[in-house]
Amino acid sequence: MNVLGINGSPRIGGNTDILLDRVLEGAARQGGNTEKVILNDLKFCPCQECEDIIRDSVCIIDDDWHQVYKRIKNADAIILASPIFFGSISAQSKMMIDRFQCVWRAKYMLKKDIFNRRKKGGFISVQASARKDFFDNAKSIVKNFFAVINVDYKEELFCPGIEEKADILRYPDILKKAFELGQRITSV
């Protein structure tokens, strides 16, 4: 099983990044082939809502977003990891998701299911506050994204009250949950 971890945090070595690494470690321990994409390292622009989209419904903007698209298409399981910023997912995560508007168009307007194979998915998120509604906001965006690309939302790990860089390392129980999430997402 190919497990793709997508890091939507701008802070490498931070809580979101550490948790995603633990998820991928768990997946690898279960026999999965793992890969991690760091959105902040890529150069891509936000969706331009192009009116002259090519009939195959692949985004016409030529940038690094296509790397993410190909990796998602080839993955069997996807873990999206994003911190909570202003009550929702990070800008990096949202910008990547918005670029899948071309896939939404293909699926719902042109009746072409580009991502015709079902995949498993999970969402992990960290925030400094303890507001459940922030996780709910983020989760609804991720669930909508997963629905467009035929990913079954199977797993989630929400971590409130974690603020300082690498604070998550003080919570071995959460790190264990992340590892176990990776194992579960990889099992048949």
Q: List Cβ neighbours of 144 (8 Å cut-off, separation of 6 or more).
A: none
Is the dihedral angle over the CA atoms 138, 9, 145, 126 positive or is it negative? negative
Superfamily of domain 2-186: Flavodoxin domain (3.40.50.360)
pTM, to two decimals: 0.96
- Model pLDDT, residue 54: 61
- Model pLDDT, residue 52: 67
- Model pLDDT, residue 18: 98
- What is the residue extent of each domain of the chain? 2-186
Q: H helices then E strands: how many in the chain?
A: 6, 5
Cα–Cα dist 130/141, whole Å: 19
Give pLDDT tens digits for 161-172. Answer: 999 999 999 999
Give pLDDT tens digits for 96-137. Answer: 999 999 899 888 888 888 888 999 999 999 999 999 999 999
For residue 16, give the nearest of 151, 93, 124, 95 by alpha carbon.
Answer: 124
Q: DSSP labels for 1-32?
A: -EEEEEE--S-TTSHHHHHHHHHHHHHHHTT-
- Which residues of the chain register pLDDT less than 70? 52-57
- Model pLDDT, residue 60: 86
